[in-house]
Amino acid sequence: MDERAWAWLEINCAHCHSEAGRAWSTGLDLMASQTNSTLYGVMKLPTAAARETGGNHYDIVPGKPEESIFVHRIASLEPDVAMPELGRGMVHEESLKLIIQWIKAMD
């Protein structure tokens, strides 16, 4: 599951959320090679604090996907909230379930 989640994040998110990406200012590095949990979002405060957060305080709360901004954004179709933001007009339920399971399994 860990490898599948990282593959999905790298393919769908790391083109922006990496050192070379346009969203580097967010402080997220979603390359599968990233080992620093803060850089991939664990207990990391977001740079945006509006509706993008869904009222959540951290990008990833280990064991608590319902409190994680990642899940809120992947589950959303709202412009400026939905992630990945490009090329989608629906929630990919399988991917959402994968990320939820991944976060639930974190210590």
Query: 3-state class of 104 per DSSP?
Result: helix
Q: In sequence order, what E strands does the chain have?
A: none
Q: What is the pTM of this model?
A: 0.93
Is the pLDDT at 56 greater than 90? The verdict is yes
Residue 60: strand pairing partners: 42
pLDDT of residue 22: 94
Give the total number of structural domains in the chain: 1
Question: How do residues 58-70 score in pLDDT, each as one tens digit?
Answer: 999 999 999 999 9
Domain that holds residue 38: 2-104
State the average pLDDT over residues 76-91.
89
Decide if 45 contacts 60 (C-beta within 8 A). no
